[in-house]
Amino acid sequence: MRFTRLRLNGFKSFVDPTDLVIAEGLTGVVGPNGCGKSNLLEALRWVMGENRPTAMRGGGMEDVIFAGAATRPARNFAEVSLLIDNSERLAPAEFNDSDILEVVRRITRDAGSAYKLGGKEVRARDVQMLFADASTGAHSPALVRQGQISELINAKPRNRRRVLEEAAGISGLYQRRHEAELR
Ligand code: ATP
Ligand code: MG
C-alpha cells in the first residue's frame, strides 16, 4: 500500500490547505523546532483512524483543529485526506474501481468525526480495518513517535509482542476475533 499524497486543512498548525506529494522512495521532512514535522505524522495516523487523544498529543479529539494564533482565528473543522496508490487493486471490493483510493477524515467542533473511503461515507472501523489488514494503520510500528524507541526498549514482553503481531499483519484478525467475542 503506497501513499501518494497527504492533504491537510485546518489540522493543528496546518491552518491553510496544504498538499504534500509523497514521492516514491525515501521522503525527509526537515525544519526548525515547532514547524509541524510531528504534526504531519499525526495527520497520517489520524486519517487512518487514530482515536486516542494522547497519541495526538492532545487532551480531547477536537484539539487537532487549528486553535487560533495571534493573527488568525480558530477554525471549526479539520480535514485530512490521504491518497493511496490502488493500481494493484488491493482495496476491499466495494472500493476497488479506481487506481487511486482516497481516505478522508473530517472533524467538526461538537459534531465529531466523519470518514469517507473512495467518496462513500464509512465508519471509523472500516478505515481502521482497511489499514490493519494492510499492516499499516494508526498503531503501525512503521510510524515511530518521538521517544518511542526508548519506550520499546523498556516495554513489557506482552507489549513488545503486539508490535511484532502488527508487523506480521495479523492484528486485523485479532480485532475481528475480539469483536466476535463481544457479540
Ligand atoms: P520538533 O522539531 O521540536 O519536534 P516539530 O516540527 O515536530 O518540532 P510539531 O510538534 O509538529 O513541530 O508542531 C508543533 C506546533 O504545532 C506548535 O507550534 C504548536 O503550537 C502547533 N500546534 C499544535 N496543535 C495545534 C492546534 N490545534 N492549533 C494550532 N497550532 C497547533
Ligand atoms: Mg517533532
96-111: per-residue pLDDT in tens?
Answer: 889 999 999 999 999 9
Q: Is 33 annotated as a binding residue?
A: yes
Look up cell 487511486; give the residue.
100
Instruction: With a cut of 90, say whether residue 54 has pLDDT above it.
Output: no
Instruction: With a cut of 80, say whether residue 139 has pLDDT above it.
Output: no
181 vs 141: which has the higher pLDDT: 181
* pLDDT of amino acid 159: 86
| Centre of ligand 2 from the C-alpha of residue 178, in Å | 34
Q: How much is the average pLDDT of 157-175?
A: 79
Range(s) of the domain holding residue 26: 2-182
From the CB of residue 49, how many other CB atoms can be counted at a distance below 10 Å?
Answer: 23
Q: Which of 149, 152, 134, 131 is nearest to 50 (CA)?
A: 131
| Centre of ligand 1 from the C-alpha of residue 39, in Å | 6
Look up cell 526537515; give the residue.
30
C-beta separation of 14 from 39 below 8 A: yes
Please give the torsion angle defined by the CA atoms of residues 161, 3, 58 and 154, in that order, rounded to the nearest 10 degrees: 20
Instruction: With a cut of 70, say whether residue 4 has pLDDT above it.
Output: yes
* pLDDT of amino acid 77: 98
Look up cell 525515501; give the residue.
26
Instruction: With a cut of 70, say whether residue 35 has pLDDT above it.
Output: yes
pLDDT tier at 161, thresholds 50, 70, 90: confident
Q: How much is the average pLDDT of 146-164?
A: 83
* pLDDT of amino acid 135: 62
Structural domains of the chain, count: 1
Instruction: Examine the predicted complex and report whether its ipTM is higher than 0.90.
Output: yes
* pLDDT of amino acid 105: 98
35 lines ligand 1 (CB under 6 A): yes
Which CATH number is 74's domain given? 3.40.50.300
66 lines ligand 1 (CB under 6 A): yes
Q: Is 156 annotated as a binding residue?
A: no
Q: Please identify, by atom number, the ligand 1 atom nearest to the C-alpha of residue 39.
A: 11
64 vs 58: which has the higher pLDDT: 64
| Closest ligand to the CA of 59 | 1
Q: Is 59 annotated as a binding residue?
A: no
| Centre of ligand 1 from the C-alpha of residue 117, in Å | 28
* pLDDT of amino acid 173: 81
